[in-house]
């Protein structure tokens, strides 16, 4: 008996399989990756050593913030797992590089938003640490979301055909619908005991309908679609009742159809779909899509190098068309890697649901991952004419302060869904 | 070769893929952290119902985590949940109501070790050693939580005293391993709210359970092999309460 | 908790949808990427509508047939060469659609699937397309046509390399004539007659009638035919050029006797004749790299002795491209298996990486080795008995068949000559077509002989 155990013991004496990620080397690698990209942009002429110092400052702040976050979280919050943040850093870094190429002026806002996003992320992860506390916040947050959206109808200004902006002073313009995304997930998630009470779902359906309705009024078609898809996802996870969802789907479908009938912009989008190369579209309504496709093909598998593309000169290159910039300058491989990140987040959220500490966390993580995936898919497939084009941004990558903050906020739900995030054992061990 | 100029582009893409693959593999390969542990004992039949999830639904419905046979119970009757503060039970709009120690519940009611829960006319005793009503009372680990760590190289059994055993190079440790690759305080085997766990104290060489590397702390059960770098131990649970089926 | 975590799996549907989109996009990039990249809207490639960095097109000797300098596309320095190779190389306006310049635009532009346009951005040059044609020999061929309309093609039946491919009328792409669209002399100038000209094969088809007879009727070569100037059927006569009296198949082929061949065709039967012709490439799609080739046609009628008789001498509804004619000769010379002709030797990217390189690609068997050997001896006999070896340099061992294809009673017939050299050093199969040229052996043979002799001398 003992001998056989010893035999087994000898067999076990192999290096440990599947080593967990060591954060410092990986963060170093990511930093090196980002430094190389940033140097391609900031060093405009290598022989004359011409350096764009303002750009360098933004990139510097970005990298310092990454390390600072790691040090603080390790030392004070006793965190040991940083994979999710590392992927967030990686994506944001690609975004910084693409924006540095397409619209360097946007880096100031982007850097600020990243810092705010990171703070928001940390705060949200802390709030979510106690599901009781989080549950209590749902009602006030839901009301806040509706207030914000309604205020948006009256105070909003038209930018690029949608009224989804609030301009404060002359300098700051924010996109309230981005923040509502976080609240939407917050309100959508609930602990099991809440899920088992019947009226619960109808409140959520009402809330969702209000959100989507306001977004239609604001003519923010893309975001409305994202909200609607996320609603379907959450509603199913909460009730598991196909009939409720079928009803919601039918009513939304009918409403959507009516709106599509009356809204010329939506109609135009469908007219362009799959016809972007037509002679009358190629320089007109299919302009953006064709330029992105040309960029993707021109970039090849590995890209032309940062600052060497042509998509960056097209209007909206730093927001809607950023996928084209990434593909052209960093390669189709990088482009698909970005898409894969969002898919893997979703797979991860499903995977984690089994061991989550509450349905609140599993629903929130899945809804957040889903929302990010929907938005990324609608953006990527929209600009490449796989589906009709709608002006939504690519999470983490596209330029936009509100969007950056909201993406990191959503990431907090995925982080909170990770059962290792709030492990308590560490602290007790230190003597 | 002019083509050498292309190498950085290729490298950049490969690094991007490496980063993503490495991060996600690490995310997916983690074994879940510990599960909560409590038991409901049916007072009439003496049958034990194990609670091993943070939120557990009780009811007649098929998809309940614990399916109740009593015809007086609603389809979804109540939810027992483990929160930061302790265990709670919430009645979820059941017809007959849920009673704790004879009192009908309203909203979430905290549960303590030994409480009687009445659902659909059936009494259950709630067993959760950590959730004692007297918050100052010592956690009864000395009686309940006994275990042994056997060094498989020497077959020497280390008794786990007071629900905690420290392993490391430092001579103050309960298990001293004189090996330079082992950290001063390398790992701790401990009885916690989530059952027995082994925790890696940021050691350089790492801790493994059954060949998998531990990330932070890892729940263990009777018969698990624990690796401290290359030193192998086997854990035997002597507390009598054994977790079954927790390891999927 | 269990039920909730089960329901979360609905997310898989959305992940699957996203994955499907990703796969679709990837597929589109693979299949259409070249098209997108070479779109005239791609500013990497085009500045003000012209390809800025298109690569060179060179001939087999490395002579530059087309190059880019200062953002302008220019052709060979010699105007005659430019005209001779117009249909192969192409023009700057896309009029000659089935040309290298047009069909290999993706390669020339400097785009490739893996690197995109990176090479173009860094080396300011696209890929080089190296052709198999010999520019000087093409010029000789063009001059030999002496301004007549027609087509000449020579290819190496062992490797498949097309050495000469000339189509007339043509024009100099750097000096486009003003009357190009009005002048009758430029009729069909944008068509490459070698690949897209469909003509009745005339007597050259007798080679295939012979092949059908050898394959299907063992005794036919010993049969004696009587020619009184026509083959008589109940529907009418198949006229012959002369009154040949008693003769056998060998002699009938050398003298190109219609009477004998109309009878052979009827002996063989419509089905077998059509099958043999199809084995040799009629009604089949044949290709020349990415360049389009028209399909040659034959449709024999079963119950019509007159039609079948005419088909046997290549005068019915049968139509053939000059390219198929050389391929048929290549099949006979190659022991029954043709080697597919090709024009592009290799494509080299700007960084020196060879992307595409041509190799010997055999087609499906046209006839048995024995049949091929017998046909070869018959075609050799034609020269010994009829045309005379003196047309060619000494020792080249020419084999061949002339043809005079009638199209319109009021017009001079088209002159054909197809053949090959039974020579290991110069394994050339050749064809010449002179529209409204007259007798095949008198007009087309000297033209093609001149080109082949030049090629033999040049080596």
Which one has a higher pLDDT value, B132 or C65? C65
* Model pLDDT, residue A199: 67
Is residue B21 less than 8 Å (CB to CB) from chain A? Answer: no
ipTM: 0.91
Gap between the Cα atoms of A39 and B14, Å rounded: 18
* Model pLDDT, residue A424: 47
* Lowest mean pLDDT, pick from A99-103, A320-324, B4-8: B4-8
The yes-or-no verdict on residue B26 having pLDDT over 90 is: no
Is residue C36 less than 8 Å (CB to CB) from chain A? Answer: yes
The yes-or-no verdict on residue C428 having pLDDT over 50 is: yes
- From the list B9, B188, B217, the residue facing A423 with the nearest CB is B217
Q: Are C99 and C88 in contact (CB under 8 A)?
A: yes
Residues in chain C: 459
Gap between the Cα atoms of B231 and A67, Å rounded: 35
What percent of chain C has pLDDT above 90?
Answer: 59
- Contact list in A for residue B90 (CB cut-off 8 A) is 193
- The residue with tokens 């531990």 is B214
- pLDDT-based confidence at residue B222 (cuts at 50, 70, 90): confident
Gap between the Cα atoms of A403 and A164, Å rounded: 12
Buried residues in A145-184 as b, exposed as e (16+ CB within 10 A): bbebbeebeeebeeeeebbbbbeeeeeebbbbbbbbbbbb
The yes-or-no verdict on residue A145 having pLDDT over 60 is: yes
Is residue C22 less than 8 Å (CB to CB) from chain A? Answer: yes
* Model pLDDT, residue A183: 94
The yes-or-no verdict on residue A428 having pLDDT over 50 is: no
Query: What residues have CB less than 8 Å from B184, skipping those under 6 apart?
Result: B168, B169, B170
> Once rounded to an integer, what is the mean pLDDT over residues B125-141?
64
- pLDDT-based confidence at residue B138 (cuts at 50, 70, 90): very low
H, E, C per residue of chain C? CHHHHHHHHHHHHHHHHHHHHHHHHHHHHHHHHHHHHCCCCCCCCEECCEECCCCCEECCCCCEEEEEECCEEEECCCHHHHHHCHHHHCCCCCCCCCCHHHHCHHHHCCCECCCECHHHHHHCCCCEEEECCCHHHHHHHHHHCCCCCEEEEEEECCCCEEEEEEEECCCCCCCCCCCCCCCHHHCCCCCCHHHHCCECCHHHHHHHHHHHHHHHCCCHHHCCEEECCEEECCCCEEECCCCCEEECHHHHHHHCCHHHHHHHHHHHCHHHHHHHHHHCCCCCCCCECCECCCCCECCCCCCCHHHHHHHHCCCCCCEECHHHHHHHHHHHHCCCCCECCECEEEEECCCCCEEEECCCCECCCCCCHHHHHHHHHHHHHHHHHHHCHHHCCCCCCEEEEEEEECCCCCCCCEEEEEEEECCCCCCEEEEEEECCCCCHHHHHHHHHHHHHHHHHHHC
Q: Are A305 and A40 in contact (CB under 8 A)?
A: yes
> How far apart are the two ends of chain C, measured CA to CA in Å?
85
Q: How far is CA C143 from CA C79, C90, C148, C168, C448, in A?
A: 12, 19, 10, 10, 11
Structure tokens at B197: 């766990």
Size of the A and C interface in Cβ pairs below 8 Å: 134
* Model pLDDT, residue A169: 67
Gap between the Cα atoms of A86 and A25, Å rounded: 11
Highest mean pLDDT among A78-82, A364-368, A419-423, B205-209: A364-368
> Once rounded to an integer, what is the mean pLDDT over residues A87-100?
96
> Which sign does the torsion angle of CA C191, C192, C194, C196 carry?
negative
Chains adjacent to A (≥3 CB pairs closer than 8 angstroms): B, C
- pLDDT, tens digit, 9 for 90 and up, residues C351-397: 888 888 888 999 999 999 999 999 999 999 999 988 999 999 988 99
Average pLDDT, chain A: 85
> Once rounded to an integer, what is the mean pLDDT over residues C176-188?
87
> Which sign does the torsion angle of CA B174, B175, B179, B183 carry?
negative
- pLDDT, tens digit, 9 for 90 and up, residues A270-286: 788 888 998 888 888 88
* Model pLDDT, residue A161: 65
Sequential DSSP letters for B175-212 = EE---TTS-SS-EEEEEETTEEEEEE-S-SS-EEETTE
- pLDDT, tens digit, 9 for 90 and up, residues A31-62: 999 999 999 999 877 777 888 899 999 999 99
* Model pLDDT, residue B153: 84
- pLDDT-based confidence at residue A423 (cuts at 50, 70, 90): low
Interface of B with A in 48-77 (CB under 8 A): 54-55, 57, 63, 76
Q: How far is A244 from chain C (nearest CA, A)?
A: 14
Q: How far is A111 from chain B (nearest CA, A)?
A: 21
Using the beta-carbon criterion (under 8 Å), do B56 and C1 form an inter-chain contact?
A: yes
The yes-or-no verdict on residue B239 having pLDDT over 70 is: no
* Lowest mean pLDDT, pick from B136-145, C134-143, C370-379: B136-145
> Once rounded to an integer, what is the mean pLDDT over residues A201-225?
83
* Model pLDDT, residue A20: 66
- Contact list in A for residue C116 (CB cut-off 8 A) is 297-304, 328
* Model pLDDT, residue B30: 66
* Model pLDDT, residue C427: 94
Is residue A351 less than 8 Å (CB to CB) from chain B? Answer: yes
Sequential DSSP letters for A153-221 = HHH-EEETTEEEEEEETTTEEE-HHHHHHHHHHHHH---HHHHTSTHHHHHHHHHHHHHHHHHHHTT-H
Chain CA centroid to CA B179, Å: 30
Q: Are A337 and A109 in contact (CB under 8 A)?
A: no
- Contact list in C for residue A304 (CB cut-off 8 A) is 116-118, 121
- Contact list in A for residue C115 (CB cut-off 8 A) is 300-302
Q: How far is CA A340 from CA A18, B9, B26, C152, C308, in A?
A: 21, 20, 16, 56, 66
Rounded to the nearest 5°, which phi and psi values hold at C106? Answer: -60, -45
Gap between the Cα atoms of C136 and C458, Å rounded: 9
- pLDDT-based confidence at residue A220 (cuts at 50, 70, 90): confident
* Model pLDDT, residue A142: 92
Q: How far is A260 from chain B (nearest CA, A)?
A: 39
Gap between the Cα atoms of C134 and C301, Å rounded: 42
> Once rounded to an integer, what is the mean pLDDT over residues A287-301?
94
- Sorted by where each starts, the structural domains of chain C and their CATH numbers stand as 195-342+359-458 (3.40.710.10)
Beta bridge partners of C64: C58
> Once rounded to an integer, what is the mean pLDDT over residues C182-206?
91
- Contact list in B for residue A396 (CB cut-off 8 A) is none
Residue from C2, C13, C15, C113 to probe the interface with A (highest A Cβ count within 10 Å): C15
- pLDDT, tens digit, 9 for 90 and up, residues A332-360: 999 999 999 999 999 999 988 877 888 99
Is residue B55 less than 8 Å (CB to CB) from chain C? Answer: yes
> Once rounded to an integer, what is the mean pLDDT over residues B232-240?
77
What percent of chain C has pLDDT above 70?
Answer: 100
* Lowest mean pLDDT, pick from A301-315, B62-76, B206-220: B206-220
* Model pLDDT, residue A243: 67
- From the list B26, B79, B83, the residue facing A196 with the nearest CB is B79
Which one has a higher pLDDT value, B142 or C422? C422
Using the beta-carbon criterion (under 8 Å), do C1 and B3 form an inter-chain contact?
A: no
Gap between the Cα atoms of A288 and C392, Å rounded: 63
Is residue B212 less than 8 Å (CB to CB) from chain A? Answer: yes
Sequential DSSP letters for A27-56 = HHHHHHHHHHHHHHHHEEETTTTEE-HHHH
- From the list B2, B6, B53, the residue facing C1 with the nearest CB is B53
Q: Are A389 and A272 in contact (CB under 8 A)?
A: yes
- The residue with tokens 């600020």 is A112
Which one has a higher pLDDT value, B197 or A245? B197
- The residue with tokens 């155990």 is A5
φ/ψ bin of B154: left (φ > 0), alpha (ψ from -120 to 50), beta (otherwise): alpha
H, E, C per residue of A306-342? CCCCCHHHCCCCCCCCHHHHHHHHHCHHHHHHHHHHH
Rounded to the nearest 5°, which phi and psi values hold at C392? Answer: -110, 160
- pLDDT-based confidence at residue C51 (cuts at 50, 70, 90): confident
Is residue B204 less than 8 Å (CB to CB) from chain A? Answer: no
Average pLDDT, chain C: 90
Of C268, C217, C210, C260, the residue nearest C238 (C-alpha)? C260
Buried residues in C148-186 as b, exposed as e (16+ CB within 10 A): bbbbbbbbbbebbbbbbbbbbbbbbbeeeeeeeeeeeeb
Using the beta-carbon criterion (under 8 Å), do C1 and B55 form an inter-chain contact?
A: yes
Gap between the Cα atoms of B199 and B219, Å rounded: 9
The yes-or-no verdict on residue C445 having pLDDT over 60 is: yes
Of C358, C87, C367, the residue nearest C215 (C-alpha)? C367
The yes-or-no verdict on residue B140 having pLDDT over 60 is: no
Highest mean pLDDT among A147-151, A195-199, C273-277: C273-277
Q: For residues C51, C54, C60 and C62, what is the CA-based torsion angle, rounded to 10 degrees?
A: 120
Structure tokens at A287: 């302009």
The yes-or-no verdict on residue A213 having pLDDT over 90 is: no
Query: What residues have CB less than 8 Å from B8, skipping those under 6 apart?
Result: A36, A305
What percent of chain A has pLDDT above 70?
Answer: 87
Gap between the Cα atoms of A304 and C116, Å rounded: 8
Of C380, C444, C211, C197, the residue nearest C312 (C-alpha)? C211
Using the beta-carbon criterion (under 8 Å), do A294 and C12 form an inter-chain contact?
A: no
Interface of A with C in 106-135 (CB under 8 A): none
Gap between the Cα atoms of A265 and A269, Å rounded: 6
């Amino acid at each position: 008996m003992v001998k056989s155990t010893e035999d087994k013991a000898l067999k076990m004496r192999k290096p440990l399989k599947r080593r967990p990620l060591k954060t410092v080397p990986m963060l170093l690698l990511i930093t090196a990756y980002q430094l190389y990209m940033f140097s391609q942009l900031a060093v405009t002429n290598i022989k004359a050593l011409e350096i764009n110092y303002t750009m360098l400052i933004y990139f510097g702040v970005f990298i310092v913030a990454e390390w600072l976050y790691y040090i603080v979280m390790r030392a004070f919050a006793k965190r040991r797992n940083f994979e999710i943040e590392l992927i967030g850093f990686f994506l944001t870094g690609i975004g910084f590089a693409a924006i540095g190429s397409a619209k360097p002026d946007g880096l100031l806002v982007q850097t600020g938003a990243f810092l705010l996003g990171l703070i928001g992320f940390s705060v949200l992860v802390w709030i979510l640490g106690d599901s009781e506390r989080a549950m209590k916040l749902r009602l006030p947050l839901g009301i806040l979301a509706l207030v914000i959206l309604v205020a948006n109808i009256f105070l909003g200004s038209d930018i690029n055909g949608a009224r989804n902006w609030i301009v404060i002073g002359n300098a700051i313009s924010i996109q309230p619908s981005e923040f509502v995304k976080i609240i939407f997930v917050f309100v959508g998630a609930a602990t099991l005991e809440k899920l088992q009470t019947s009226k619960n779902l109808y409140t959520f359906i009402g809330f969702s309908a209000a959100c989507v309705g306001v977004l239609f009024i604001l003519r923010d078609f893309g975001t409305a679609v994202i909200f609607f898809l996320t609603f379907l996802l959450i509603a199913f996870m909460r009730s598991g009742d196909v009939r409720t969802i079928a009803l919601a789907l039918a009513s939304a479908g009918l409403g959507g159809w009516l709106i599509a009938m009356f809204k010329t912009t939506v109609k135009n989008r469908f007219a362009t779909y799959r016809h972007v190369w037509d002679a009358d579209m190629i320089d007109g309504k299919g302009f953006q899509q064709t330029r992105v496709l040309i960029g993707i093909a021109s970039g090849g598998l590995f890209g032309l190098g940062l600052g060497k593309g042509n998509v960056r000169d097209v209007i909206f290159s730093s927001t809607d068309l950023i996928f084209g910039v990434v593909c052209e300058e960093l390669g189709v491989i990088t482009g698909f890697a970005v898409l894969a990140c969002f898919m893997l987040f979703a797979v991860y959220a499903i995977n984690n649901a089994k061991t989550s500490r509450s349905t609140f966390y599993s629903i929130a993580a899945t809804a957040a991952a889903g929302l990010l995936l929907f938005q990324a898919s609608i953006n990527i497939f929209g600009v490449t004419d796989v589906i009709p084009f709608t002006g939504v941004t690519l999470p983490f990558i596209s330029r936009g302060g509100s969007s950056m903050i909201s993406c990191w906020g959503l990431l907090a739900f995925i982080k909170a869904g990770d059962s290792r995030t709030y492990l308590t054992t560490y602290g007790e061990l230190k003597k | 070769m002019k083509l050498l100029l292309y190498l950085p582009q290729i490298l950049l893409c490969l690094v991007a893929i490496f980063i993503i693959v490495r991060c996600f593999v690490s995310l997916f390969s983690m074994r879940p952290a510990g599960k909560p542990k409590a038991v409901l004992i049916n007072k009439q039949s003496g049958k034990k119902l194990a609670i091993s999830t943070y939120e557990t639904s009780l009811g007649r419905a098929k998809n309940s985590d614990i399916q109740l046979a009593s015809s007086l119970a609603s389809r979804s009757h109540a939810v027992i949940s483990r929160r930061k503060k302790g265990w709670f039970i919430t009645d979820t709009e059941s017809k007959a109501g849920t009673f704790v120690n004879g009192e009908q519940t309203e909203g979430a009611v905290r549960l303590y070790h030994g409480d009687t829960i009445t659902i659909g006319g059936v009494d259950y005793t709630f067993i959760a050693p950590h959730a004692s009503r007297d918050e100052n009372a010592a956690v009864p680990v000395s009686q309940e939580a006994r275990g042994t760590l056997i060094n498989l190289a020497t077959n020497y059994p280390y008794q786990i005293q007071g629900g905690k055993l420290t392993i490391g190079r430092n001579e103050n440790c309960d298990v001293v391993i004189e090996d330079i690759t082992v950290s001063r305080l390398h790992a701790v085997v401990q009885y916690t709210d989530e059952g027995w766990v082994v925790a890696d104290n940021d050691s350089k060489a790492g801790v493994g359970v059954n060949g998998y590397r531990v990330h932070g702390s890892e729940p263990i059960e009777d018969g698990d092999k624990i690796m401290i770098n290359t030193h192998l131990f086997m854990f035997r649970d002597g507390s009598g309460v054994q977790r079954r089926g927790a390891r999927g | 908790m269990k039920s909730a975590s089960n329901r979360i799996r609905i997310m898989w549907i959305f992940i699957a949808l996203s994955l499907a989109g990703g796969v679709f996009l990837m597929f589109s990039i693979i299949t259409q990427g070249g098209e997108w990249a070479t779109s005239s809207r791609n500013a990497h490639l085009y500045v003000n509508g012209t390809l800025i960095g298109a690569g060179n097109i060179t001939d087999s000797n490395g002579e530059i047939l087309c190059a880019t300098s200062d953002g302008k596309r220019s052709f060979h320095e010699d105007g005659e060469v430019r005209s001779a190779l117009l249909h192969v190389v192409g023009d700057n306006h896309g009029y000659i659609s089935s040309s290298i310049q047009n069909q290999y635009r993706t390669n020339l532009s400097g785009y490739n699937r893996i690197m995109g346009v990176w090479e173009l951005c860094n080396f300011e040059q696209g890929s080089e397309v190296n052709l198999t044609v010999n520019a000087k020999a093409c010029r000789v061929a063009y001059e030999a046509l002496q301004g007549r309309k027609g087509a000449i093609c020579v290819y190496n039946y062992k490797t498949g390399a097309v050495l000469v491919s000339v189509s007339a009328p043509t024009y100099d792409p750097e000096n486009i004539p003003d009357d190009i669209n009005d002048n009758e002399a430029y009729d069909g100038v944008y068509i490459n007659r070698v690949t897209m000209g469909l003509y009745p094969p005339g007597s050259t088809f007798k080679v295939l009638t012979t092949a059908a007879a050898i394959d299907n009727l063992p005794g036919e070569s010993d049969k004696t035919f009587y020619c009184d100037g026509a083959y008589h059927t109940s529907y009418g006569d198949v006229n012959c050029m002369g009154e040949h009296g008693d003769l056998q198949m060998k002699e009938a082929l050398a003298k190109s006797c219609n009477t004998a061949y109309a009878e052979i065709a009827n002996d063989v039967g419509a089905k077998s004749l059509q099958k043999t012709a199809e084995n040799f490439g009629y009604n089949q799609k044949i290709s020349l790299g990415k360049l389009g080739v028209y399909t040659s046609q034959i449709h024999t009628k079963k119950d019509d002795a007159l039609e079948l008789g005419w088909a046997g001498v290549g005068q019915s509804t049968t139509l053939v491209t000059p390219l198929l004619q050389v391929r048929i000769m290549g099949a006979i010379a190659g022991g029954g298996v043709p080697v597919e002709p090709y024009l592009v030797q290799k494509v080299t990217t700007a960084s020196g990486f060879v992307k595409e390189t041509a190799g010997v690609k055999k087609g499906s068997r046209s006839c048995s080795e024995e049949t091929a050997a017998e046909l070869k001896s018959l075609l050799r006999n034609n020269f010994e008995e009829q045309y005379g070896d003196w047309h060619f340099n000494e020792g080249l061992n020419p084999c061949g068949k002339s043809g005079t294809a009638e199209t319109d009673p009021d017009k001079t017939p088209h002159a054909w000559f197809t053949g090959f050299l039974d020579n290991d050093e110069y394994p050339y199969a050749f064809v010449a077509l002179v529209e409204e040229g007259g007798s095949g052996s008198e007009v087309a043979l000297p033209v093609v002989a001149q080109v082949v002799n030049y090629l033999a001398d040049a080596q």
